[in-house]
Amino acid sequence: MTDYAVGDIQGCLKPLQRALSQVAFNPSKDTLWIAGDLVNRGPQSLETLKLIYRLADSTRIVLGNHDLHLIATYFGVRKASSKDTFDDILLSPDAPKLIDFLLEQPLIQHDKALGYTMTHAGIPAIWSTSTAKSLAEEVSETLRNPRERQAFLEDMYGNEPDMWSDQLTGKARLRVITNYLTRMRFISQSGRLDLAANSGPLSPPKSMKPWYEYSPLKARKTRIIFGHWAALQGLLDHPEVIGLDTGCVWGGHLTVMNLHSGEFYQNTPEERQLPADFDSD
């Protein structure tokens, strides 16, 4: 039995299939951790999601910002933009069961025995791992509750509040939790988010750093797997932090990691032109 982790797939079916073949993934005994953004911007969101749905018993998934955007669009909260590529899901007769499947996925995965914790964007230093798990579950419970889901999705978008406080309640509390776990890149020492900047780590906004430069990583006693930040290209000099978004959808590679051996696998992407805003939300 082997546990693998893969970065942002974003509807890139063929690279995913090649990656699973490359590592000889066996769903009867292996597990695939998926760091969010299963869909959108790539060419085959529907078929990618259907494949992951079929592998459900052999996966550990977290939701990313693109997955949440798909859910909000499905429920009529937002209209798809010209950049979105998930119409194939919205128009599919399988849409209800696929959306229900996404709604059951958490924002965090933690395996104490294996020594890994995964979210789409990371975990801010202001939260312990247990706090992050508890707060993530608040969002997940709301998403799973039909009576609360619509209001949450309607209020999910936005960059405010830009800083965590234990005193936050209601929509503001859920929005900032979601932003930390699915959209975070740059952050201040006190935990203030800058969600407008999408540059590489060497060009931070004033008084900001990449989130992982503050984290008391060794004190967490877990390694953090995340995606979301294609500009990093997985090049992190932090043994406790593993960035797996290597921009497959934008002409980079799809990266898979063997969580037992630490070995990385990459395959050649589909031919796609890299747009100027390739790392935007």
- For the chain, the C-alpha Rg in angstroms (whole number) is 17
Residue 239 lies in a domain: yes
With respect to residue 61, please indicate whether it lies within any of the assigned structural domains. yes
Predicted pLDDT of residue 281: 57
pLDDT of residue 233: 86
Q: What is the pLDDT along the chain (281 residues), one digit of tens a residue?
A: 999 999 999 999 999 999 999 999 999 999 999 999 999 999 999 999 999 999 999 999 999 999 999 999 999 999 999 999 999 999 999 999 999 999 999 999 999 999 999 999 999 999 999 999 999 999 999 999 999 999 999 999 999 999 999 999 999 999 999 999 999 999 999 999 999 987 788 889 999 999 999 867 666 889 999 999 999 988 787 888 999 999 999 888 899 999 999 999 987 655 444 344 444 45
- The dihedrals phi and psi of 214, each to the nearest 5 degrees, come to -100, -25
* pTM, entire model: 0.94
Q: Is 177 exposed, middle or buried (0-12, 13-18, 19+ CB in 10 A)?
A: buried
Q: Do residues 152 and 174 touch, judged by C-beta distance below 8 A?
A: yes
Please report whether residue 279 resides in a domain. Answer: no
Q: How many structural domains is the chain composed of? A: 1
pLDDT given at position 267: 75
Cβ distance 264 to 44 under 8 Å?
no
Q: Quick check: is 204 in a domain?
A: yes
State how far the Cα of 227 lies from the Cα of 119, in Å rounded to an integer: 8
Q: Kindly report, residue by residue over 155-201, the tens digit of the pLDDT.
A: 999 999 999 999 999 999 999 999 999 999 999 999 999 999 877 88
Q: Would you state the structure tokens that stand for residue 233, as one six-digit string? A: 């290209």
Residue 186 belongs to domain with CATH number:
3.60.21.10
Domain that holds residue 220: 3-267
Report DSSP state, residue 186.
Answer: E
Residue 278 resides in a domain: no
Angle at 267 between CA 265 and CA 268, to 5 degrees: 155
Residue 260 included in any domain = yes
